[in-house]
Amino acid sequence: MKMMPYWLDTAAPFASAASGAPNGTADVAVVGAGFTGLSAALALAKKGAKVVVLEADRVAGAASGRNGGMCNNGFAQDYGGMVETFGLERANAFYRAFDAGVDKVESIVAEEGIDCQFGRVGKLKVAAKPEHYEKIIRSQELLARNVDPETRLVTPAELPSEIGSDRFYGGMLYEKSANMHMGMYGQGLAEAVVRRGGRVYEHNPLVKMRRVSGASHELSTPHGTVKANQVLLATGTSAYGPLGWFRRRIVPVGAYLIATEPLPVDLLDRLTPRRRNTVDTRNFVSYFRTTPDNRILFGGRARFSSRSDPAADAKSGAILRRSMIEFFPELADVRIDYCWGGMVDMTRDRLPRAGERDGLFYSMGYSGHGTHMATYMGAIMAEVLDGKAGLNPWRDFDWPAIPGHFGKPWFLPFVGAYYRYKDLVG
């Protein structure tokens, strides 16, 4: 079993990283070569800007290359609750931003010729308990009436045509959702940035940042220094650099995944006949999809932890394997070929934050919906840097520090115990 992401192991490595030390000047320095940073750098380079991307490790090597491979529209939160909190007009605007994110990924893939197996397979949200299905019925009715007529209920009688498991009680289908190969997409984005004239420096973590004048900053890595007229922080939960203000507002929560050996097509036809992205309704969520080479990739919370290392990943992978077999007993003897983890950058309300603070622009905190929202917000922030702040859907959001949180989430075990209890009784 390989203790590394399937996506990174099965994608060709980025071949066009800038050589030598980062130095000189740039119109924009982007910190982070995940989907946010690369999408922003691509959009800025297409505008003719001189762009430098500084990446602490490798292109798409953190959350962007360690996720479940899904590009799902819709909220993590209940739509009705979002309407109650923000009002119908704003809730619908936020919902449409997530839709626009999937569209943006699709358009970049087409325009830049990125071979990443993008496909609109749809997302199936399955009810883990009968009362969850009742809530899904109410939510789908509101969605279809107000903002997304392309959702539809999957009744308990219809469910066997969607999933070969007797553990669920109906569900909802989001037709717009897609999936793709995350490693190939990340490498393709980076190659597109270079092709458009940008420079991407891998293994150059930000270690120091100094404001020079106005919005201009001097950014230093262990290997060199760049002076940029504008800076975009696209770092997520990065432990690198002088980013303490952001770390107090983001909780890094581990997400863990396993991938099986390649499976016979007739077995997949029984278990996931339509090859949907599938997610359940528990707080300790589980999700799965198939890969291009006929594996089942199965992921979830497993444990509330801020660790991702071989020991922590293996412990979580064993939990995920048991959950997978509970869903699909036919997989009891299947070999697990990959096991890995990564950090999800959670905000307190599970909504992104983007804007400008003290001359620095930022976009982060996607809370598990980062593939498409990161891509979308990268392109949006390219416009914000160009003076079009009104295009940012999260521009008016406050972002207070999380009480008691100073960068290390000591409270996660207590949060996990609370949500495990809610799954038992709710």
What Rg do the C-alpha atoms of the chain give, in angstroms?
A: 21
Question: Cβ(128)–Cβ(280) under 8 Å?
Answer: yes
- Average pLDDT over the chain, rounded to whole? 93
Residue 212 token pair:
């020079």
- Name the residue among 173, 93, 195, 196 with its Cα closest to residue 127: 173
pLDDT at position 78 is 86
| pLDDT over 80 at 222, yes or no | yes
pLDDT at position 417 is 66
Cβ within 8 Å of residue 319, ≥6 positions away: 256, 302, 303
> How does pLDDT run across 281-298, given as a tens digit for each residue?
987 789 999 999 999 999
Axis crossing angle, helix 35-46 with helix 88-112, rounded to the nearest 10? 70
Full-model pTM = 0.95
pLDDT bucket at 426, cuts 50 / 70 / 90? low
Question: Cβ(259)–Cβ(336) under 8 Å?
Answer: yes
Q: Which CATH architecture is the domain 6-413 placed in? A: 3-Layer(bba) Sandwich (3.50)
Residue type, 175: E
pLDDT at position 106 is 98
| pLDDT over 90 at 416, yes or no | no
In the chain, where the domains are located? 6-413
φ, ψ of residue 73 in degrees (nearest 5)? -80, 170
Residue type, 211: R
pLDDT at position 212 is 92
How, if at all, do strands 225-233 and 360-364 pair? Answer: parallel
Mean pLDDT of 366-395: 95
Rounded to whole angstroms, the Cα distance separating 73 from 243 reads: 30
Summarize the chain as % helix, strand, coil (round to 5). Answer: 35, 25, 40
* 109-113, 175-179, 376-380, 412-416: the lowest-pLDDT one: 412-416
Residue 394 token pair:
């999260």
Cβ within 8 Å of residue 162, ≥6 positions away: 124, 154, 171, 173, 273, 274, 276
Taken in order 101, 39, 119, 8, the sign of the CA dihedral is negative
- E strand segments, 296-398: 296-300, 336-346, 353-357, 360-364
Cβ within 8 Å of residue 124, ≥6 positions away: 154, 162, 163, 171, 172, 173, 174, 274, 276, 277, 278, 279
If 0-12 CB within 10 Å is exposed, 13-18 middle and 19+ buried, where does residue 78 land? middle
- Name the residue among 342, 282, 393, 285 with its Cα closest to residue 8: 342
- Name the residue among 30, 64, 77, 101 with its Cα closest to residue 343: 64
> How does pLDDT run across 49-106, given as a tens digit for each residue?
999 999 999 999 999 999 999 999 998 888 999 999 999 999 999 999 999 999 999 9
Q: How many CB atoms lie within 10 A of CB 19?
A: 7
How, if at all, do strands 25-31 and 225-233 pair? Answer: parallel
* 101-105, 390-394, 403-407: the lowest-pLDDT one: 403-407
Cβ within 8 Å of residue 417, ≥6 positions away: none
